[in-house]
Structure 1
Amino acid sequence: MLDRQQRYGFELREEFERSTGSTWPLNIGQVYTTLDRLERDGLVSDMGTDEAGHRYYAITDSGRQEARNWFATPVAPSAPPRNELAIKLALALGTPGVDVAAVVQTQRLATIQTMQGYVRARREADRENNAADLSWRLVLESLIYSAEAELKWLDHCEAKMPSMAKQSSVASAGAAAPKVKPARMEASS
């Protein structure tokens, strides 16, 4: 964003949130902390303050190169992201009294409703057909595809549940049975 023009922190936050449809809101303190770090690393320069007290920043040549490198490097998560839904279902399978099918259906309904909201927002953005909103439409499409993938995964889980329930009940029965040490036979003389 600084490659386009000099900005101050609040403008950067507003531009980021506009570009992403406020999907991932930024804390203004985080923005200024990041600007301080970028300045320390020589990636941005402090251009001074205006009459309203706004401190403007500009990208440096090193910053421009770092941004190009970032855009050219694929995103590769170092570890799988924490997925609360997968954790919930994994724990529900082994928890007595939890209706796993109901957990899946509740999540499916919530995911469908969320996805419908994303689809409506995308339709509105498409109607406006504003080139500046392309970034927001791309974020919306990413959210829609993620919701579709979650629904597909929930279908998969639901299809697996009958066999998982059998395995779980067999494992639970085995775990519930007391472990008895076999008696040692002593030879009598």
Structure 2
Amino acid sequence: MAIRQGLLALLSRGPRYGYQLRAEFEESTGATWPLNIGQVYTTLARLERDGLVAPGEQDDQGRVVYAITEAGRAETERWFATPVAQTDRPRDELVIKLAMAVTAGTGVRPIIQAQRTATMGTLQRLTRARRASAEDPAQRLVLDSMIFQAEAEQRWLDHCEAVLAASPQTQERQA
């Protein structure tokens, strides 16, 4: 899971406490993937259990600072060196929705149009965010990736319309 490895990567820069890790994770991703602080501390507890981080003493404000262990550094290096397989990514709900709509004989065009409108709005929001964060390369990479995904989704929706328009099965259902 990327949150686990992301926290390890941040800890490889030096010891941190939970709120620092949350803030740095969100800053690095342009706040596109907000983390719940409970998720951060749960992940830190698992990393500690697995010997990948070690807690330090509490500071005067009661915060525990965590440090990466040698096993954690090795895990981080392994993560950076391993390509992400397409099968490691979650299922695409939009693909499933359209496939089920076609199978069920539901009107697919309104679904495609609603998605196209939503994706265009997302693309506009991401483009504005990218302009605002042009100085931070980590944020820029995250936002560029999301922009490219939104653009690809728009192209795929165009493709879906073309395939459905050419399909005799879909034409029969619409008649």
Q: TM-score range by the shorter chain?
A: 0.7 to 0.9
CA contact (8 A) 2:164 2:170 kept: no
Partner Cα separation in structure 2 for residue 80 and residue 65 of structure 1: 23
Larger Rg: 1
1:35 counterpart = 2:44: yes
Ranked by relative contact order (alpha carbons within 8 Å, sequence separation 6 or more), the top structure is: 2
> Which stretch shows the higher mean deviation, 76-85 or 115-124?
76-85
Partner Cα separation in structure 1 for residue 43 and residue 104 of structure 2: 43
CA contact (8 A) 2:109 2:161 kept: yes
Q: TM-score, normalised by structure 1?
A: 0.79
CA contact (8 A) 2:101 2:108 kept: yes
Partner Cα separation in structure 1 for residue 66 and residue 98 of structure 2: 47
Q: Deviations over 1:117-173 (max 9, x none)?
A: 1111111222xx2xxx21111110010010011011001011111233x2146589x
For structure 2, the 5+ residue unaligned runs are 1-9
Q: CA RMSD in A?
A: 2.2
The one of 97, 113, 121 equivalent to 2:129 is 121
Quick one: percent identity of the two aligned structures? Answer: 55
The 5-angstrom pairing of residues 124-143 of structure 1 reads 124-126=132-134, 129=135, 133-143=136-146
1:105 counterpart = 2:108: no
Which residue number corresponds to residue 153 of structure 2?
150
Which residue number corresponds to residue 10 of structure 1?
19
CA contact (8 A) 2:54 2:66 kept: yes
2:154 partner amino acid:
L
CA contact (8 A) 2:165 2:171 kept: no
Aligned length: 166
Partner Cα separation in structure 1 for residue 89 and residue 42 of structure 2: 27
For structure 1, the 5+ residue unaligned runs are 173-189
SS at match of 2:11: coil
Q: Deviations over 1:47-76 (max 9, x none)?
A: 110000000011112211211111111111
